[in-house]
Amino acid sequence: MRNYLMIVPEATAPAGLVGETLIADGAGYDTLMPVERYASHAPFDYPGIPRAPGRYAGLVVLGGPMSANDTDKHPFLADTMALIRAFAAEDRPVLGICLGAQVIARAFGGEVYRMDALESGFRTMAATSEGRRDPVFSALGAEVISFQNHFEAVRGIPEAVPLATGGACPIQAFRVGRATYATQFHPEVTLDIVRDWIRTFGTAFTDPEPRLLTELDRQFQQNFARHRAQCQALVRSWMALSKG
């Protein structure tokens, strides 16, 4: 059975639909929570961020409230960047989501910058011409519908291939090399995950985007089926990049 490593910077931002798809397709995953200093496979002896891929077939880096620029406050971010480069050097697949995408951008020399406003809620994005031809991203089709929740975005990543654009930032998804993929949007979320974000972070999200309170259920009713199907297509195509 293939086993993947999942880095979860925020406990209320778990693997969600990504983890569900991995399990449904016969894979497994171990979770590291570097802020909580917890590991699912080593609950009594937190091992920290590994230096090398080891036995893992691939790496997933999820979201969190910190900035990828905050390496002084959160040293695990620099460790994660080094691990991303180690997976890429061994040609093993990496998937970064929101903060994870921004960590990938920093790992490969890109910039993470603050946007003018929070982008939150379901958005429709367009696949770029490269995205429509990409061996992974083409499985999502010409339009991508997924949930957004971020104050920061990425740009200036050397050798990155932009895969999707739209909404509040020009680069909504990108690839570096053969098998390192990043999405600014959140293919993993469920309604309960977003409700947990609102309970945990409160007005930091709902003041700049009050529709998170007034329209959240309706947005999920209208968009969740396609959102989930596109997450499954993304993860399965990404898993297919694993060698061996």
Q: Which residues are catalytic?
A: 98, 186, 188
Cβ–Cβ under 8 Å, residues 46 and 72:
no
Q: What is the 3-state secondary structure (H, E, C) of the chain?
A: CCEEEEECCCCCCCCHHHHHHHHHCCCEEEEEECCCCEECCCCCCCCCCCCCCCCCCEEEECCCCCCCCCCCCCCHHHHHHHHHHHHHHCCCCEEEECHHHHHHHHHCCCEEEEEEEEEEEEEEEEECHHHHHCCCHHHHCCEEEEEEEEEEEEECCCCEEEEEEECCEEEEEEEECCCEEEECCECCCCHHHHHHHHHHHCHHHHCCCCHHHHCHHHHHHHHHHHHHHHHHHHHHHHHCCCCC
Of 86, 44, 43, whose CA–CA distance to 61 is shortest? 86
